[in-house]
Amino acid sequence: MTVIEHTPARGIRILVAMLLGVSMLGGCATVQREASFPQVQSAVANNLGQKIEWNRDGERDQRAQQATRTLLREKLSAEAALQIALLNNRRLQARFEELGIAQADLVEAGLLENPVLSAGALFKDAVPRSTWISCRTSLACLRFRHARRSDGPPPSR
């Protein structure tokens, strides 16, 4: 553990800067649940010539429901039945949710562990005499991060 001693005012400024830096880094990891879904849509369109939608209670869901109603008003063909099945299949929708969860798991596997910050001050007669700040993290998580991900071993040196 590294101990840095400074004057009280400088120590507090450093602590505040470190806390702000760490809090800003916390917002860097975001998960886009539908990141892989366009690839699935494209594969279905190329292989089956049909559209699929991930029902998420939005505007696209309403369009999919309207398309289903329109298809049901006409004479039912094999292609129309397939399109209706793709738009309304609950198991398929559950698989899309699993795809979103897998995407989040992949992002999480690539994240570093949170660092542990600590700070303190020594006082004598109500006057700060010494302050310290430390930041601790696991370096092993850097080395073995590849093991948590599915992208294989790290490049050899």
Across 39-60, average pLDDT: 86
Identify the band that residue 73 occupies on the pLDDT scale cut at 50, 70 and 90.
very high
Same domain for 92 and 74? yes
Q: Is there a domain that residue 69 lies in?
A: yes
Whether residue 54 is found in the same domain as residue 96: yes
96 with 52, same domain?
yes
> For residue 2, is it within any domain?
no
Instruction: Please write the tens of the pLDDT for every residue from 100-136.
Output: 888 888 877 777 777 888 888 888 887 777 888 888 8
Same domain, yes or no, for 45 and 66?
Answer: yes
Q: What is the pTM of this model?
A: 0.54
Residues 48 and 101 in one domain: yes
Mean pLDDT in the chain? 77
Q: Are residues 52 and 98 in the same domain?
A: yes
Question: Quick one: 15 and 53 in the same domain?
Answer: no
The number of residues in the chain equals: 157
In a domain, 132, yes or no: yes
CA 44 to chain centre: 25
pLDDT at site 31:
64
Nearest to 33 by CA among 94, 101, 90: 101
Confidence label for 142 from pLDDT (cuts 50, 70 and 90) = low
Q: Look up the domain containing 41 and give its range.
A: 37-109
User: String of b and e for 91-107 (b: at least 16 CB within 10 Å)?
Assistant: ebbeebeebbeebeebe
Is residue 101 located within the same domain as residue 124?
Answer: no
Residues 41 and 79 in one domain: yes
85 and 121 co-located in one domain: no
What's residue 157's pLDDT? Answer: 47
Structural domain count of the chain: 2
Task: Give residue 139's pLDDT.
Answer: 73
Residue 3 lies in a domain: no
